Structure 1
Amino acid sequence: MRTIFITGASSGLGRACVKVFADKGWRVIATMRNPAAGEELGKLPNVHLKQLDVNNVPQLQALVKEVEDKWQVDVVLNNAGHILVGPLEGFTDEQVSLQVTTNLLGPIRVTKEFLPYFRERKSGLFLNVTSTGALLPEPFMSIYGATKAAIEAWSTSMRSELSKVGIGIKTLIPDLMQTSFVANAQLILHPAYQEWVDKMLAIFSNPDSPLVYDDPAAVATFVYNAAVDGSDQLHYLIGDNAIRTGATIEKEGVENVLNYKEKFYFSA
């Protein structure tokens, strides 16, 4: 039985991936800061809930050792992360640091802890969830976009490093999904920018807006396919929405799409 270790498994894409991989007969180590939030997942066959805050290094080290002592992990899905929404001028240094630590240092730390085990076996695969925000960041999500772009760059560099010892790495690039985006985001306010933030949030909140959201369950199937396709492909657009976004960027160019987004969010 193959085993996958998933971070951020309590909701959204992480939760959907737990279900897909378990349904495919995998053993799933589903980690989250609050295992009570995943109680339903723990009832699935071969799903093991574990507490993990990727910012808690001693906890991470102990958990990776515990899991590897008991099972052989084949795939690590670095999915944990959160979103800050608002103007940079309103962010505190602590908020910026937490965003960078969770979204960037989290995957790096998890990867580093598994490396000795994967290297010894000369096998293993890391899947790093980023975002189309790495390619085309949304307004007022500058730090989030920066962390996802950094994971893309880091993963690209790591491919050469890891291939020397028989380990694979891939990035998974979703677009908007039906994951309570606005409700789960940490909203940062600043009076000088509030008019424009409100306009953008109104579009995200409006059920009649033209924004398209992918079903996390469908996107999780893309994740599974990337895990088992046996290819050396590095970057994957996962979900129909992400594929459309990638095609639009390729056809129109980043500058033109950015100009369109500016009008879409902020024009009267």
Structure 2
Amino acid sequence: MMKTIFITGASSGIGKATAELFSANGWRVIATMRNLEKGKDLTELPNVVIMPLDVADSEQIKATCRKVLETYDVDVLLNNAGYGIMAPLERIPEAEIRRLFDTDVIGTMLVTQQFIPHFKHRRAGAILTTTSLAGTIAFPRDTVYGAAKRAQEGMVESLYYEMKPFNVAVKSMIPGGTKTNFQTPLNDAEGYEQAAARQRAYLLDGNAEFPLPNEAAQIIWQAATDGKDQLRYPTDSVCRKLYDQYLTMGAERFKEYFSQLLFE
């Protein structure tokens, strides 16, 4: 019997790479996105259905999820839609803060809510959420985006316990720097130019470019199919190294190390 994955933010980057990989492995893919035109090439792949979904639109979330769950037995939900802001907190307008949280945090929660009864009823499946290394390691100019990603991590960890009695896996997919067209409509480095350059070098970890989204898609495939009771999955080798470094050092020691790296 064909398995089904539902993906938000599937028109580009990690979402699109994941849609392509699951389709290639014989899954049905419900690929959702704000602009269907951007993802129309996905319809050329076997068993891919594209549907409109703006996760900042709560009525559209209800309508699209209801239609999908009436039609398909979804095995995996991948919350992937989102975007970033990189700027000092003092220069981020209130409207931009609210818009990002509406998309990255509240949108993710509202989509997840729609699927919880389905997964509890079938007593199987997985809820995956693309968070970020910024949800674990704090970076300058990431006050809003980092806070949103920590909120997602908090949701994932609490939901893990809520879904465990129903045999439903809940997992966090953690990309670091990834070579995608990830949207950062506000990118302001004024006053932090040196720190921004050093942060980029740190995230590249000696590589010429960031990992491709295909690498993240492979880890998402692993998380969806490995049957492991594992909460967090760094989605590429560089991110895994930096994530492990942070956990090994602990927050206080890492703070000292990273401050020197950025500013001295």
Determine which of 211, 228, 231 is the counterpart of 2:228: 231
CA distance in 2 between partners of 1:156 and 1:69 (Å): 28
Shift of 1:188: 5.2
Shift of 1:214: 1.5
* 2:73 alignment partner in structure 1: 72
In structure 1, the gaps of 5 or more residues are: none
- AA at the equivalent of 1:199: Q
CA distance in 2 between partners of 1:143 and 1:27 (Å): 35
The 10-residue stretch of structure 1 (74-83 or 149-158) with the greater mean CA deviation from structure 2: 149-158
Determine which of 191, 194, 197 is the counterpart of 1:195: 191
Shift of 1:256: 3.9
CA distance in 2 between partners of 1:121 and 1:230 (Å): 16
Shift of 1:200: 4.6
Q: Is the 8 A contact 1:90 1:188 kept in 2?
A: no
Shift of 1:167: 2.2
Shift of 1:202: 5.0
Q: What SS class does the counterpart of residue 21 from structure 1 fall into?
A: helix
- The 5 Å alignment of 1:1-268 reads 1-181=2-182, 184-187=183-186, 189=188, 194-196=190-192, 198-202=193-197, 212=207, 213-267=210-264
Q: What SS class does the counterpart of residue 139 from structure 2 fall into?
A: coil
What is the CA deviation profile of residues 131-171 of structure 1, one whole-angstrom value per residue up to 9, with x for unaligned ones?
A: 11111122101111111111112211111111223322111
**Aligned Cα RMSD in Å?**
2.1
Shift of 1:210: 5.4
Q: Is the 8 A contact 2:6 2:77 kept in 1?
A: yes
Q: TM-score, normalised by structure 2?
A: 0.90
CA distance in 1 between partners of 2:71 and 2:31 (Å): 15
- AA at the equivalent of 1:237: P
Q: What SS class does the counterpart of residue 162 from structure 2 fall into?
A: helix
Q: Is the 8 A contact 1:136 1:258 kept in 2?
A: no
Between the aligned residues of both structures, percent identity stands at 34
Q: TM-score, normalised by structure 1?
A: 0.89
CA distance in 1 between partners of 2:195 and 2:178 (Å): 17
Shift of 1:117: 1.8
CA distance in 2 between partners of 1:199 and 1:211 (Å): 17
Q: 1:25 to 1:261 in 2, by over 3 A?
A: same
